[in-house]
Structure 1
Amino acid sequence: MASETAGSTPPENLTPQQRDMPQVNKITTDDIRASLKAGFSDFLARPVLSGFFGLFYAVFGILLVWALIWLGQIWMIIPAIVGFPLVAPFAAAGLYEMSRRLQKGESFGWAEILSVMANQRKRELGWMAFVTLFIFWVWIYQVRLWLAIILQNASFSDFDGFLNTVFFTPQGWIFLAVGTCVGAFLSAVLFSVTVVAMPLLLDRDTNFISAMLTSLRVVSESPAVMLGWAAIISVTILLSLVPAFLGLIFTLPILGHTTWHLYQRAVAPAEG
């Protein structure tokens, strides 16, 4: 009897965080395809409201580039554009809520979606925003560091001069190689801790640490498939930046809706 009691003690002593950790499922390419189809359907169901979030993100990107030019920070334009997709998961929070309501057959309008987003400041989605922006800041800082180390004697009087130095000099090639490797690492870290963390925080009353750990578990459970999904997101958003950021009006909403449906497949429903 004593041994049986001792054996049952550990589960009773689990912390609330351990009890609340959701179960994760293995993701396949079929799940990616099905999620993309569902995400596209959500976009078509409410194209104007969905497109608003993409337009907001695009306008922010245009203003960011304009501000860098106005401030004379020419060297920051390419790092800012390349790092821009890092903040996309947070920008898609309203899209997750739309997909959640569409999935449940609930009616909603602009006020309901925007108010839900505003109320997230009272929950832990704000901490995830901090994590996202911190990694974006690290990305910009490391670019400046390697710029000073590798291209220390270069001067950039205009954007064309910066492009010529980076793409047509040996030092520029080294800078690109190092920056690409570091950027890929930071992107992988951020993707791993946010891919399902933000929809999870929106959907359930949990803390951001548990959400990030759940996201890491989803990636570790299906690394090859999730790496493929990360590549789809990165390539799609980067291509969307080419036409003056305007491609984001369509691609960001579809990717955001898709992420919600992928989260639904990757994380088991809450008990009860």
Structure 2
Amino acid sequence: MDAQPDPPVGPPAPSPSAFELPLQRLAPADPLRWLARGWRDFLRCPGIGLFYGTCFAGMGWALLLVFRHAPAWTLALSAGFLLVGPFLCLGLYEASRVLERGEHPDLGSSLLAWEHSIGTMAIFGGVLLILEMLWGRASLIVFAVSFEGMPDFQGSIRQLLAAEHLEFLVAYVAVGSLFAGLIFAVSVVAIPMILDRQVDAITAALTSLRLVLTQPFVMLCWGALITALVVLAMLPWFLGLLVVGPVLGHASWHAYRTAVPAQ
């Protein structure tokens, strides 16, 4: 009896587009659950977490050292943590992904997590960098039109707290909120998705944007929680970033896993 020929094999099914990927319905308590899982991952691989936390804090210390006579730059570039945070946390996403598989992550693998999607990561990272530079420039403009020259660091704190500079505070917060909201919307799950699914930057960004637009309350709560923790971590000379930075990195991976179900 002759063997039946194998059925013809067609091309692989195309990956769903950014508008076709299913998104999980989120609960208001999910941000706290993500934070708890991030803390758990930090405790499971503290060495990796502290390495990245030291990098975050070291960047803050460098800003204070280099720009101690130009507080506007320090404030503007400190705000950049909120912009490039998802990209800098790439190694932490990889560590959480490895832990999810029941394996033990190592620092070397986390540092090379970008190598499988180097082109896409470079494009997305470049966009984040450009937005950070625009935010920094906009912050400098706000300082320039609000003060006569750049005050010293202590002077700037006194002036920021003065009632007559309420307009400056409103303008600075408005500019920061605009840039932070934009970058949050397009990146909240984008980079973990690029790492996990090897999708292109546009698909990842549109999926992230769709998540924020379809579930604004939960994602607003998540963004507010991230912002509050980062700001508090920066206050004691950036020391809080030693722990807060890696915990938020791990938590962001779990936010992606919850919001975008596994294939």
TM-score, normalised to structure 2, is: 0.87
1:179 aligned to 2:172? yes
Q: Distance in 1 between matches of 2:162 and 2:59?
A: 30
Change (3 A) 1:179 1:24: same
C-alpha deviations, 1:55-75, integer Å up to 9, x for none?
111101111221112xx4333
Q: Report the alpha carbon displacement of residue 19 of structure 1 after superposing the two structures with TM.
A: 7.6
- Which amino acid counterpart does residue 45 of structure 1 have in structure 2? R
1:58 aligned to 2:31? no
Q: Distance in 1 between matches of 2:252 and 2:72?
A: 32
Change (3 A) 1:155 1:161: farther
| Matched-pair contact (CA < 8 Å) for 1:79–1:140 | yes
C-alpha deviations, 1:201-226, integer Å up to 9, x for none?
11111111110000011111210111
Aligned residue for 2:5?
none
Aligned residue for 1:235?
228
Q: How many aligned positions are there?
A: 251
Q: Distance in 2 between matches of 1:125 and 1:66?
A: 30
Q: Distance in 1 between matches of 2:223 and 2:158?
A: 30
| Matched-pair contact (CA < 8 Å) for 1:82–1:238 | no
In structure 2, which of residues 240, 244, 249 is the aligned counterpart of residue 247 of structure 1? 240
Q: Distance in 1 between matches of 2:108 and 2:78?
A: 31
C-alpha deviations, 1:137-167, integer Å up to 9, x for none?
111111122223333xx13352222333333
RMSD: 2.2
Q: Which has the higher helix share?
A: 1
Report SS of the residue matched to 2:112: helix
Deviates more, 1:122-131 or 1:173-182: 122-131
Change (3 A) 1:147 1:101: same
Aligned residue for 1:224?
217
TM alignment of 1:1-272, pairs within 5 A: 18=17, 21-69=20-68, 72-117=69-114, 119=115, 122-151=118-147, 154-156=148-150, 158-168=152-162, 170=164, 172-270=165-263
Q: Distance in 2 between matches of 1:120 and 1:173?
A: 48
Report SS of the residue matched to 1:136: helix
Q: Distance in 1 between matches of 2:77 and 2:188?
A: 21
Unaligned stretches of 5+ residues in structure 1: 1-14
| Matched-pair contact (CA < 8 Å) for 1:43–1:253 | yes
Change (3 A) 1:140 1:120: farther
Aligned residue for 1:7?
none
| Matched-pair contact (CA < 8 Å) for 1:120–1:126 | no
Change (3 A) 1:27 1:20: closer
Unaligned stretches of 5+ residues in structure 2: 1-13
C-alpha deviations, 1:102-140, integer Å up to 9, x for none?
0011233222222224x1562311222112111211111
| Matched-pair contact (CA < 8 Å) for 1:196–1:263 | yes
Q: Distance in 2 between matches of 1:19 and 1:243?
A: 40
Identity of aligned residues (%): 31
| Matched-pair contact (CA < 8 Å) for 1:99–1:260 | yes
| Matched-pair contact (CA < 8 Å) for 1:199–1:263 | yes
Q: Report the alpha carbon displacement of residue 169 of structure 1 after superposing the two structures with TM.
A: 5.8
- Which amino acid counterpart does residue 108 of structure 2 have in structure 1? A
Q: Report the alpha carbon displacement of residue 83 of structure 1 after superposing the two structures with TM.
A: 3.8
Deviates more, 1:176-185 or 1:232-241: 176-185
Q: Distance in 2 between matches of 1:16 and 1:102?
A: 26
Change (3 A) 1:244 1:111: same
Change (3 A) 1:115 1:176: same
Q: Distance in 1 between matches of 2:230 and 2:67?
A: 20
| Matched-pair contact (CA < 8 Å) for 1:26–1:221 | no
